[in-house]
Amino acid sequence: MLSRRSLFLLMGGAAALAGAGYGASRVGEQPEPPLPPGQDRQGRLLWRNWSGLQTAYPATRAAPADEGELADILRRAEGPVRAVGSGHSFMPLVPTPGTLVTLDRMSGLAGHDPATGTATVRAGTRLVELGTALAGIGQEMANLPDINKQSLGGALATATHGTGAALPALHGNVTALRLVTAAGEVLDCDASRNPELFAAAKVGLGVFGIVTQATLRNGPLRRVERNVWLQPLEQTLAEWPALRAAHRNVEFYYLPFTDMTAVITHDETDAPATPRPPAQDNEALLDLKRLRDWLGWSPALRRRMAKLALSGLEPEKVVGESWQLLSNERPVRFNEMEYHLPLEAQPQALREVVAVIETNRPDVFFPIEARVIAPDEAWLSPFQGRMTGSIAVHAYYKDNYAFLAALVEPILRRHGGRPHWGKLNSLGTADFAALYPRFAEASALRRSLDPEGRLLNDYLRGIFAHG
């Protein structure tokens, strides 16, 4: 995220204090979470998600090469039949004891139209491959998530988003979808063909069918200038409306127990590309962790040391193609909760989240992320009908994440938030029905396509079977 010029000094100081006996720290490294067995008693292999929280032992795994094979699988396979992308969701959307279907063999560009700036993309395509493929035809997705490891099908299914006041989430630029239903029927949908299914299945969680391809309305390939700088939280909140208006993509991270934010902007430019310096995010993150480990026992000292170190950090500026700069590598695993709030509620909700964490949870060190997303009309889109400000809180994968549900979620719900479908939340049918005006229609449509619920695992049955 930022150059680390003075972090070493800081770390030396913190380590010395800890060594001098001040820091028989109450908050330190937790043991590695236990690994589930690699196979179950029947010899079925383990599937686990990226963070390690979700696991399953599917009876069958299938990798169809085309829609014909997929339709056969959907007609005959043992249920629940669940699609998997790259397993980056934190919620139990994918796990099944039945059939796990990957579209890894159904990836790449299926076609494009330079006149409309659209491209039709097979759903198994990873976003990183899509960036390269679109660049090859002079197109780009102007909004991308924080990482690009997801499959297109998986990203759309949970309303994956980036940031930018004029930019909707990824599904907001989908102009057509093709999916195969539980009965093995191949359906095309867009604004005129099966329009209701189109509105429901754009953010479809794999319950309306398995999406095989999507047509995306893209922008022309652009270079962007990326700027990253630090400033106090209250300054960022005061400037947030102006920052949103001024920058194509803008977000900020609050660094817990520092009072400081890192603001990140991307704006189109014709300037030549500059070399991208080696990513510093993860080293900076591990430094924040060390500070937690050594000085977590004294929030005041931790804050003072952090401020001292951060004051020496240089802003970052780099120019490159948008799809190369918008997404990052995230090798340090975590569990995450993200809620999407009415934009005007975001600053106060964030202040409350920061206060509750800094009062109760000295173990938290992961930056808290705030983004902005333009509205769209998909029935199950958390951005449906309103400008959205999102707040994402992370917990290191070894740390207890119960505080997300106990302390953070009540605040985000009180401010009118809708949870990210792929990230931790404790909501059920009644909650979703209250948050989504078209939830009952979506549920009825799902039932008409899959009356036996063969596409529902236990978690999704709880949400949709009686909705």
Tell how far CA 74 is from the center of its chain. 28
Question: Closest CB to ligand FAD among 66 and 234?
Answer: 66
Select 135 or 147, whichever has its Cβ closest to ligand FAD.
147
| C-beta closer to ligand FAD: residue 9 or 65 | 65
Distance between CA atoms of residues 330 and 430, nearest Å: 34
Q: What minimum distance in Å lies between the beta carbon of 422 and ligand FAD?
A: 3
Closest CA to 252 of 350, 335, 155, 383: 350
Which residues are at the interface with ligand FAD (CB under 6 A)?
Answer: 50, 82-89, 93-94, 103, 123, 145-147, 150-151, 153-155, 157-158, 160-161, 204-206, 210-211, 330, 420, 422
DSSP per-residue string spanning 240-297: HHHHHHH-SEEEEEEETTTTEEEEEEEEEE-SPP-PPPPP-HHHHHHHHHHHHHHHTT
What is the rounded distance in angstroms from the CA atom of residue 232 to the CA atom of residue 226?
Answer: 20
Q: How far is the CB of 7 from ligand FAD (least distance, A)?
A: 23
Q: Which of 15, 53 has the CB closer to ligand FAD?
A: 53
3-state secondary structure of 12: helix
Tell the smallest beta-carbon distance from residue 51 to ligand FAD (Å). Answer: 6
- State in angstroms the smallest separation of the CB of 120 from ligand FAD: 14
Residues 112 and 110: their CA atoms lie apart, in Å, by 7
Asked if 50 contacts 345 with a C-beta cutoff of 8 angstroms, the reply is no
Cβ proximity to ligand FAD, 95 vs 362, nearer residue = 95
Looking at the Cβ atoms of 310 and 381, the one nearer to ligand FAD is: 381
Minimal distance, residue 299 CB to ligand FAD, in Å = 27
Q: Residue 367 Cβ, how far from ligand FAD at the closest point, in Å?
A: 13
Smaller CB distance to ligand FAD: residue 125 or 139?
Answer: 125
Q: Do the beta carbons of residue 263 and residue 229 sit within 8 Å?
A: yes
Measured CA angle at 393 (ends 387, 396), to 5 deg: 155
Distance of closest approach, residue 322 Cβ to ligand FAD, in angstroms: 15
Q: Which residue has the tokens 């979620």?
A: 409
**R_g of the chain, CA atoms, integer Å:** 22
